[in-house]
Amino acid sequence: MTKRRAILSGSVFEEQIGYARAVVDGDWVHVSGTTGYDYATMTISDDVVEQAAQCLRNIEAALAEAGSGFEDVVRVRYLLPDREDFEPCWPVLRRAFGQVRPAATMMMCGLADPRMKIEIEVYARRGSGGRV
């Protein structure tokens, strides 16, 4: 039987809302929608590109705790309130996923806080990207 394990980032939102940054289920790692908050300082940049970079740092930390990395990501979803903000983020996103080429979707939607300009969610399968 596969054991399920929750990974917590320490975000107050996880406690207040009742979710985990990521859930490991067997070889699968499901990373929740992750915003550009720096959870160490509980601050968020006004710049969408900086937010995207922070999203990726937060996701990378969750994946690492799960024994995984960007190379194992098979699916990514980008959520943005403003479609015009997506293209400026492409170079940052390409650095994380350009060699991996996961299936991807960009959706326009409102986010929980008006300061949030991007949210990123990923699914990874540990070991699928060649990590030993």
Two tokens at 20? 């985990």
Whether 131 maps to a domain, the answer reads no
Q: What pTM value is reported for the model?
A: 0.93
CA distances from 29 to 11, 69, 77 (A): 19, 10, 14
Residue 131 has pLDDT above 70, yes or no: no
C-alpha 44/C-alpha 106 separation (Å) is: 21
Comparing CA positions, the residue from 38, 39, 33, 45 lying closest to residue 88 is 45
Whether 130 maps to a domain, the answer reads no
**pLDDT tens sequence across 100-115:** 999 999 999 999 999 9
**pLDDT tens sequence across 29-48:** 999 999 999 988 889 999 99
**pLDDT tens sequence across 72-88:** 999 999 999 999 999 99
Domain that holds residue 114: 4-125
Tally of structural domains, the chain: 1
CATH of the domain at 30: 3.30.1330.40
